[in-house]
Structure 1
């Protein structure tokens, strides 16, 4: 019996002492894709965040606009599929203080609207540039983004 244990132990210990050959690991890198997201502003207090990969611009009102309006009670959203030119009226916002039109910051086609604003217009006050976005526009002229204000230029326009 001792001989069997010795043999088993010696064969196991021999296996433990043998160098293990490392298998080469193959790493496959995902194809690199470059996405550029640019956010620009209008003097009328709209903002658009453009993703060059999808060609979509997410339109919202700025935090400064919502604070100037006060409590938002109604939002008129644009119609899906509507073709708009830069500067066209695409909706309106009504608050306890005032009503204000919303203008297209860029040209394109309305691809999506934030229907949550129909039942929760206060999202414009709570999160105007994130959850309170108004619509998504498929840009037909992405170069129009260059004509809009940077964040610093926008802030300078209403702080002056």
Structure 2
């Protein structure tokens, strides 16, 4: 999973089973250490852009070699997300990733649309979310899905 994240390329949430009203969710990595990564997350809710800084901890499952998930905050809910690098948006998504996501997700919504690329060009003031807002998720790269819990 650490190889998936890079400081030089945004990571988009394309599809999600999380029932919320956000769209165009994108993460920008800005600082990484051996087991921690800090990043900015931007998204829209009702046409208002929000941004928050988050920190994730890489997690290693004993069943799979290497780091295969990241935990952020603490919550009891879970959901799946299909996330891709910005360069994969232009190339087209890998069909096997999409198939595996659909097999695990009963219902899901589209979070990314072509117009979301505009969020990368915007130079507007951002609304900051309180530091008490945390999202906890586990990303299982071995199954090509994102399990949130």
Superposition TM-score, scaled by structure 2 size: 0.26
More strand by share: 2
More helix by share: 1
Superposition TM-score, scaled by structure 1 size: 0.25
